Structures are given as structure tokens and as C-alpha cells.
């Protein structure tokens, strides 16, 4: 498809997806929108006080969160029924159940839903103008295998709560407003995190994503699982076909900074850089009882030295290095493993630090595999036979800086919501974790809102965010989206510039 043809498709799609409010008023059944009602609140005509009076319903939000957690319930950690973790891997049967709920709920709220070729679900509520893309709130419903109830889920359910508040109060936005559920954000089942927003942004080829296999020992691909659960959409997964006016994402911090500083809202200005690698070490399978230490090519001993060394490099470079997956072959107590494969996740605030770490890893891991010494790593060891090492870079996410207009909208929303002591409760911060907002920020103005989670623990069943903090975050999300809707006219010239071209 040539570029002009693609853009024509996009324009046609936009017309199909974002009908006028009037058209919806005709189409939506009376039980959702009363036939006698009129659209009373237009965001452009609201005073700041009127805007601030729109409030999320904390109880209803928590009900939605816990309702969705019936699908893929994980490890129990407390006595209450809601005190369990989550284990809802992307494109599993339980993920399908959560997706079905998302589609039904947003459609009942008057949204049009579109499923793209990566299974991303875009639910759009019409605005007064039909010629411009919606302002989205978005996150993800998939979880880690031993994850919690808030990572991703809070952002999606807060987006739905936003739609409910707007429906309850007959709010009429200038532009359409949407909620998006991104596929496989975690990268836990299919080892490429944020892969589906990456395809949407044009950063990851669709074929690469579709062919990505689930982690050991499964063999399914993303394409086969999308098809199996009925979420392989016909619409291309592309920012050109499904454009966004902006993307706001509410998320738990997943770190301890807000809690330690006694802050309530993190205004996220960007995301740290990171790279993911797969390291493969090849030695030789031999018998543990009959092979002396110097006749071994022990792939696990070499991998252990590498993992320890990556931690030392991270310490020396003020970076992070982590190994979350390790598989070995053949896996028998009395056989020295001949092959080990492990993941390596390198992060730092600056791209240059991550690059430097990657270079050091490549150089030093070869040295370790060859059996040579690095800062006394072989002290007290028996020199064995050399192993081979191959290092594959699976994923590269450069440092991200969010759009100032979105950051401003979140700041204003947070100040308006918290009131007089806002400056004590708000903190500007950089996200340590990647999020779908990293990819959306390449194609539309984006920012994020963080709320504290207990002890900074995440990717753990005990992950916990207080009810009032969930609601406060959802309130700031609602206010940010509505404020941004009002700002779009004033500032649209900016967005016509690179890189967004809206």
C-alpha cells in the first residue's frame, strides 16, 4: 500500500469508527441514554469548578477491579477474598474472559469497539467533532504469572470508570474519548513486552510479533493464540489506521519512591531506557561423578559467573541488571548441564549508560566463557574447558520523554483534585518500568499518572494499592483527559509538527 492510499484508508476508518454524537444518540438504546435527556455539559463550556465537580465513584471502581480479577485469580496472601494475586497470562482463556467483559462493558456505555490485528481493543465514545482522533486512556488486562491486582488492571478499569462518570453526567467532549486495552504488555507469556503497542506504533513488524512464541515449555505463537481466543482483528494494528489524539495511562508506581516520600500522585515525565538480551552458554553434558572439574565445560557454572558479574557491572555503572528466566539442558542431578539460556534485563535513566553496559556485557561474557579472569572471578576456581556464548538483543527501549502538554494536563488535574496541599502530595518522576505509553508517545502526545503501591512491591501476588489511592489516581486520569480535551483546540498547531503530524 502506498502512503497516500494508507492515509485514505485511515481517513475512511476514522469516519467509520468515530460517529457523531448525534448519530449515537439515535442509535444507543434508551436504557443507556435516556431518550428525553439532552447533552448538558460540554467540556469547552465548563468552568474549572464544574470540571472538578465530576467525581469518580471509588466503590464502583473497586468493584470493577475485583470483578475482573475473578478471571485468572492467583496466589492467596491474605484472609479477604480480594487478597490474592493474579495469574492472567496474555491471550489465555482467562484473558479472553476479561477481554469479553471489557468489550461488553464499553459497548453498554455507548462505545464503538475495534479489535486490531494484535488483539488491541479500542473502545471509543463519540465527541462533537468527528474529524479528529480520540483522546485515550489506556493500559492492559494481562498480568505476570505471579502478579497482582493493580498492575495494568487499575489503568483499564479507571478508564471505564471515566466513561461511567461521563455517561452519568451527560458530559459532551469536543473530541472523542477512548479506552484502550493493549495486548501482552507484560511480555511474560510472549517474551516481548509492550509488543502490541509497539506494532501499533510501527516500531515492531506485525510478522515478528505474530510469530513470537510463548516462553518455555509452551509452543504457541501470538498469532495462533489471538486466533484461538477470537481476538485476531481484521483492522490493521497501526497508528495510521487507528490514530490517537493523546494517550494517558494511570498505573501503580511499582517502586517505593512515592510511599517513602509520603506522596500521592506521581506526574511521570518519562521512562528509563532498557534493553533485553538472551544469553546462551554452550558447554558439554558430562557425568557429575566421573568428570573431574578441569575436564568440564559446565554451562551453569559459567552462567552463574555471568549473572554475578552483570550485577557487579550494574553496581559500578548505577544501572540495573536482572535475570528473570533461566533454562538449562538436559536437567538431571547427575549431569553437568551442557547448555544454559538466560534473560538479561539492563536499565538506566540514560541511553548512553545502557549502551555502555551492553558493550561491557558483550566483552566480559566472552572472557568469562573462555575461562579467563575478570576482577578475580576465577579465584579459588578450577579452570575447566571453555564454553561458547551467544548474546542476542531481543528488545531495545530507549529513554522516553513524555509530551509537555500531557504532563501539564496531569499537573493541573492533580492540583485541582488534591487542592491546597497539592504541592506536598505530588512528585515528578521517571518510570523505571516500560509501559505501552512508551510506544504511544512515539505517535501521539502521552503521559502517565503514578499512584503509590505498598512497599513498592509489584509483579508479586502481594502487590497492593489502597482503595483511596486507586480512586485518587482514577480521578486525576478523568480530569487529565477532560482538561486535555479542552486544550486540544488551543494547541493543535503544536501537534501538527513532528513527530505526531495529527
Three-class DSSP category at 178: strand
Q: Is 332 in the site for a second copy (CB under 8 A)?
A: yes
Q: Is 381 in the site for a second copy (CB under 8 A)?
A: yes
Write the secondary structure of 104-158 as one string of H (helix), E (strand) and C (coil): HHHHHCCCEEEEECCCCEEEEECCCCCCCCCEEEEEECCCCCCECCCCCHHHHHH
Kindly state whether residue 276 participates in binding a second copy, applying the rule CB under 8 A.
yes
Straight-line distance from the first to the last Cα atom of the chain, in angstroms, rounded to the nearest whole number: 20
Binding residues among 131-160 for a second copy as defined by CB under 8 A: 144-146
H or E stretch covering 326: strand 326-329
Considering only the stretches 22-30, 44-52, 104-112, 284-292, report the one whose residues sit in contact with a second copy under the rule CB under 8 A.
284-292
* Residue 203: DSSP 8-state: S
The CA R_g of the chain, rounded to the nearest whole Å, is 24
Answer yes or no whether residue 434 interacts with a second copy by CB under 8 A: yes
Does 254 interact with a second copy (rule: CB under 8 A)?
Answer: yes
Q: 292, 421, 490, 498: which one contacts a second copy (CB under 8 A)?
A: 292
Minimum CB distance to a second copy smaller for 205 or for 324: 324
Of 224 and 323, which has the nearer Cβ to a second copy?
323
Q: How far apart are CA 206 and CA 54, in angstroms?
A: 40
Per-residue x/- marks for a second copy, 84-123, CB under 8 A? Answer: ----------------------------------------
- How many other CB atoms are found less than 10 A from the CB of residue 329? 14
Q: Please choose, from the candidates 140, 174, 151, 160, the residue with its C-alpha nearest in 3D space to the C-alpha of residue 64.
A: 160
Restricting to residues 42-71, which ones interact with a second copy according to CB under 8 A?
A: none
Nearer to a second copy, 84 or 113 (CB): 84
Q: Which is nearer to a second copy, 129 or 284 (CB)?
A: 284
Give the x-and-dash track for 441-470 against a second copy (CB under 8 A). Answer: ---------------xxxxxx---------
Nearer to a second copy, 159 or 337 (CB): 337
Comparing CB distances to a second copy, the nearer of 181 and 286 is 286
> Is the peptide bond prior to 288 cis by the omega test (within 30 degrees of 0)?
no
- Binder of a second copy out of 6, 25, 213, 329 (CB under 8 A): 329
Contact status: 361 vs a second copy (CB under 8 A)? no
Nearer to a second copy, 121 or 271 (CB): 271
Map residues 177-196 to x or -, x wherever contact with a second copy holds by CB under 8 A.
---------xxx--x-x---
- Residue 255 phi/psi, 5° resolution? -145, 175
**Cβ nearer to a second copy, comparing 58 with 203:** 203
Q: Per-residue DSSP letters for 385-423?
A: ---EEEEEEEEEE--EE--HHHHHHHHHHHHHHH-TTHH
Cell of 477: 486520569
Q: How far is the CB of 267 from a second copy (least distance, A)?
A: 16
Shortest distance (Å) from residue 269 CB to a second copy: 15
Grid coordinates given for 296 = 568440564
CA angle 414-436-185, nearest 5°? 125
Smallest gap, in angstroms, from Cβ of residue 383 to a second copy?
10
Partners of 342 in the beta sheet? 279, 326
Amino acid at each position: 500500500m502506498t502512503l497516500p492510499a494508507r492515509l485514505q484508508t485511515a481517513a475512511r476508518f476514522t469516519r467509520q469508527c468515530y460517529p457523531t454524537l448525534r448519530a449515537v444518540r439515535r442509535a444507543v438504546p434508551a436504557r443507556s441514554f435516556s431518550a428525553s435527556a439532552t447533552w448538558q455539559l460540554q467540556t469547552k463550556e465548563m468552568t474549572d469548578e464544574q470540571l472538578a465537580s465530576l467525581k469518580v465513584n471509588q466503590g464502583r471502581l473497586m468493584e470493577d477491579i475485583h470483578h475482573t480479577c475473578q478471571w485468572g485469580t492467583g496466589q492467596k496472601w491474605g484472609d479477604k477474598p480480594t487478597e490474592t494475586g493474579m495469574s492472567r497470562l496474555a491471550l489465555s482463556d482467562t484473558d479472553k474472559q476479561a477481554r469479553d467483559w471489557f468489550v461488553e462493558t464499553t459497548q453498554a456505555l455507548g462505545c464503538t469497539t475495534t479489535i486490531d490485528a494484535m488483539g488491541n481493543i479500542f473502545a471509543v465514545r463519540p465527541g462533537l467533532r468527528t474529524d479528529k482522533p480520540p483522546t485515550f486512556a489506556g493500559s492492559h488486562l494481562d498480568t505476570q504469572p505471579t502478579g497482582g491486582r493493580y498492575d495494568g488492571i487499575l489503568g483499564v478499569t479507571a478508564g471505564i470508570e471515566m466513561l461511567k462518570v461521563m455517561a452519568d453526567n451527560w458530559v459532551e467532549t469536543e473530541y472523542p474519548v477512548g479506552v484502550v486495552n493493549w495486548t501482552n504488555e507484560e511480555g511474560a507469556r510472549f517474551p516481548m513486552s509492550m509488543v502490541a503497542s509497539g506494532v501499533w506504533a510501527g516500531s515492531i513488524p506485525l510478522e515478528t510479533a505474530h510469530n513470537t512464541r510463548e516462553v518455555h515449555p509452551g509452543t504457541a505463537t501470538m498469532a495462533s493464540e489471538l486466533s484461538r481466543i477470537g481476538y485476531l482483528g481484521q483492522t490493521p494494528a497501526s497508528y495510521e489506521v487507528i490514530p490517537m489524539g493523546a494517550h494517558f495511562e494511570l498505573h501503580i508506581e511499582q517502586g517505593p519512591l512515592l510511599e517513602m516520600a509520603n506522596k500521592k500522585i506521581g506526574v511521570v515525565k518519562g521512562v528509563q531506557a532498557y534493553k533485553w538480551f538472551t544469553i546462551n552458554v554452550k558447554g558439554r553434558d558430562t557425568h557429575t561423578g566421573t568428570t573431574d572439574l578441569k575436564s568440564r565445560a559446565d554451562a551453569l557454572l559459567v552462567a552463574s559467573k555471568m549473572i554475578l558479574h552483570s550485577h557487579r557491572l550494574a553496581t559500578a555503572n548505577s544501572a540495573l541488571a536482572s535475570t528473570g528466566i533461566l533454562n538449562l539442558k538436559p536437567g538431571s542431578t547427575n549431569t553437568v548441564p551442557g547448555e544454559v539460556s538466560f534473560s538479561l534485563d539492563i536499565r538506566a535513566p540514560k541511553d548512553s549508560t545502557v549502551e555502555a553496559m551492553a558493550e561491557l556485557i558483550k566483552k566480559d561474557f566472552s572472557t568469562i566463557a573462555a575461562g579467563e579472569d575478570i576482577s578475580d572471578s576465577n579465584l579459588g576456581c578450577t579452570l575447566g574447558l571453555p564454553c561458547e556464548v551467544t548474546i542476542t538483543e531481543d528488545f531495545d527501549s530507549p529513554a522516553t520523554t513524555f509530551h509537555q502538554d500531557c504532563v501539564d494536563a496531569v499537573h493541573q488535574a492533580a492540583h485541582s483534585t488534591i487542592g491546597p496541599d497539592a504541592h506536598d502530595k505530588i512528585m515528578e518522576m521517571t518510570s523505571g518500568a516500560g509501559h505501552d505509553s512508551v510506544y504511544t508517545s512515539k505517535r501521539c502526545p502521552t503521559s502517565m499518572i503514578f499512584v503509590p503501591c505498598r512497599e513498592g512491591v509489584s509483579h508479586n501476588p502481594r502487590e497492593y494499592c489502597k482503595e483511596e489511592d486507586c480512586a485518587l489516581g482514577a480521578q486525576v486520569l478523568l480530569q487529565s483527559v477532560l482538561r486535555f480535551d479542552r486544550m486540544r483546540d488551543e494547541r493543535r498547531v503544536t501537534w501538527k509538527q513532528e513527530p505526531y503530524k495529527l
